[in-house]
Amino acid sequence: MGIATSLFVLIFYMIYQWTDQKALESGFKRMHKGYYHLMMFAIACFCITVMTIDGKDNGPLHTPCAVFFFLALEVFTVYTTLFLTELRRWDTTIMTSKSLKIKQVLAFYITAVWIYCLYGAYGVND
């Protein structure tokens, strides 16, 4: 899973850098750097979560780290999608409308999964 963690770091670094660079080139506001730092910390939490599984002991950090990672993933995905939506309104040359629509559908899907999971966890009692 160390490779997966490295890939997560690379993926989120590239997403952040590409989006921020496109905003800079367009004269649009820059992405908030706090979201990048949030994801890097969340990836460290992912690493802790995986390490507790690999060590065959969940330990006290497993659940909080897992929840934080998935919550940060949700926040980063939705924030980046909303940012790209506004950026495309500002400058339509940064991406096609089809590409933006795919990002919006993915963000909606991830949000729907969160809502479903929360409903299942705290929803109706049988």
DSSP 40-78: HHHHHHHHHHHHHHHTT--TTTHHHHHHHHHHHHHHHHH
Percentage with pLDDT > 90 across the chain? 48
Q: Is the four-CA dihedral 57, 72, 10, 100 of positive or negative sign? A: positive
pLDDT at 89: 95
Residue 71 DSSP one-character state: H
Total domains in the fold of the chain? 1
pLDDT in tens, 21-53: 999 999 999 988 988 899 999 998 988 888 877
Q: CA-to-CA distance for 69 and 53, rounded, in angstroms? A: 15
Containing structural domain, residue 25 = 2-122
- pLDDT classification of 87: cutoffs 50, 70, 90: very high
Question: Which of 35-39, 54-58, 90-94, 118-122 has the least mean pLDDT?
Answer: 54-58
Residue 106, pLDDT above cutoff 60: yes
Q: CA-to-CA distance for 93 and 87, rounded, in angstroms? A: 10
Phi, psi of 87 (to 5 degrees): -65, -40
Q: CA-to-CA distance for 106 and 92, rounded, in angstroms? A: 20
> 16 and 32 in contact (C-beta within 8 Å)?
no
| Helix, coil or strand: residue 73 | helix
Query: CA Rg, the chain, in Å?
Result: 17
- pLDDT classification of 126: cutoffs 50, 70, 90: low
